[in-house]
Structure 1
């Protein structure tokens, strides 16, 4: 059984989830992107430079996602020492993916309650980010983006639950990196392209298709877990483990 409990490339799936979560990204982070743009002095808002700064912001954000993925996956190695614990974590990851799907489709907003988990940390990080403004250098933009990456986000937490279930730090980092790359198109698009992209992503049909795809993915994960459990229903008894012999002991 592979570490994710899945039979197809998890990094591709994570990228697609990030892409499908674009509506949430535009709604939640679009204002942040605008604020970061205005954090650049007017005299330095040349198109090429702004493009580099926006890319730096997002690289910092994705780096934070990967750091978080590494940390939670490392923690997963400590709490998944038994096969049963590993299966429970994978079941939790599938549940979080279903909550993500319900949120994307606007069927249920319960995932927003999960965001409350990170609000305390964000209260300490936000003032640090403000000290980095105005942004005039690319390293400064990267650092500000890295802080932005810890903004409470239910979609990010869903992916972190998956990283926790993987319980392999490198794979957890790569999973979060793939998810972050998937969110890039929505956050890098500007002007008319952003308007068209936002309209497409927010369309009910698009959101429903995205949600059904994620639910199918999560149900497939649960099915593989069930199959794995089914393969361990029979526990050999002590007598089963003894070799059978038809010979008689001579006295």
Structure 2
């Protein structure tokens, strides 16, 4: 539960910095075409995003569960996911361009523009919901950071819950941004502060995951070794019977 709360808080901070910068244009685009700026449309868009995040969490959680069958693979998954989270955090922090080029290239492809243009024209709750789901599929370092976290859980349910917590954490900033279009969250200085705080938290998460992966592997070997020692001790102390 504490882990899910941590994910929610990090997503809440990061959404004010990263999500508004990346998805704010989409929110403004569909908002400008609506006859009335009703709350239901913004709820539908955000529920579409969160639904896609949960679906992705289920997929990566399932993949992670296959790695959990072996201690070596499980520890490797934690280390790999932790390293990717560190890289994602550094990318969001602006220190490296780990995901930025991928995000930029996908957003500027013809299919991206055409499919989004199609659903931006649909002024209905269901159309906005699908737009939100499509938005959830966009390459995003912030999303990927927590997909790595979800994969490392090694569980379909945990993967879904991690991405649900992440998705719920990102709703507030984009919902508020959509309802009032312009807000204090649109100030670059404040957005950068929130994003930097979230980036640091993601890097810390990544470091802890790498450490946990190393400990799982080390613990697995120790446990296995201890098990062997117990067997040896049991055989050594086993009384001999003369026939």
Shorter-normalised TM range: 0.7 to 0.9
Deviation sequence 1:49-86 (CA, Å, 0-9, x none): 2x211111111011011111111111222343211111
Correspondent of 1:179 among 146, 160, 166: 166
Residues in 1 aligned to 2:118 and 2:97: alpha-carbon distance in whole angstroms: 33
TM-score (norm 2): 0.81
- How many residues get paired? 235
Secondary structure of 1:109's counterpart equals coil
Residues in 2 aligned to 1:64 and 1:92: alpha-carbon distance in whole angstroms: 24
- The answer as to 2:20 corresponding to 1:32 is no
Contact 1:114 1:154 in 2 (8 A): no
Contact 1:93 1:165 in 2 (8 A): yes
Report deviation, 1:231: 2.6
Contact 2:57 2:156 in 1 (8 A): yes
**Structure-2 change in CA distance of 1:197 and 1:131 (3 Å):** closer
Deviation sequence 1:4-26 (CA, Å, 0-9, x none): xxxx7221122122123221111
Residues in 2 aligned to 1:246 and 1:62: alpha-carbon distance in whole angstroms: 60
The aligned runs of 1:1-251 (5 Å cut-off) are 9-22=2-15, 23-40=17-34, 44-45=35-36, 47=37, 49=38, 51-113=39-101, 115=103, 119=106, 127-190=114-177, 194-199=182-187, 201-204=190-193, 206-234=194-222, 235=225, 241-242=231-232, 243-245=235-237, 247-248=239-240, 250=242
The structure with the largest helix share of the pair is: 2
TM-score (norm 1): 0.79
Q: Which structure 1 residue ranges, 5 or more long, are not aligned? A: 1-7
Secondary structure of 1:131's counterpart equals helix
Residues in 1 aligned to 2:144 and 2:186: alpha-carbon distance in whole angstroms: 23
Contact 2:68 2:154 in 1 (8 A): yes
Residues in 1 aligned to 2:230 and 2:13: alpha-carbon distance in whole angstroms: 51
Q: Which structure 2 residue ranges, 5 or more long, are not aligned? A: none
Contact 1:73 1:168 in 2 (8 A): yes
**Structure-2 change in CA distance of 1:201 and 1:98 (3 Å):** farther
**Structure-2 change in CA distance of 1:238 and 1:165 (3 Å):** closer
Query: RMSD of the alignment, in Å?
Result: 3.0
**Structure-2 change in CA distance of 1:16 and 1:193 (3 Å):** farther
Contact 2:74 2:213 in 1 (8 A): no
Residues in 1 aligned to 2:208 and 2:6: alpha-carbon distance in whole angstroms: 12
Report deviation, 1:186: 2.0
Secondary structure of 2:220's counterpart equals coil
Report deviation, 1:179: 0.7
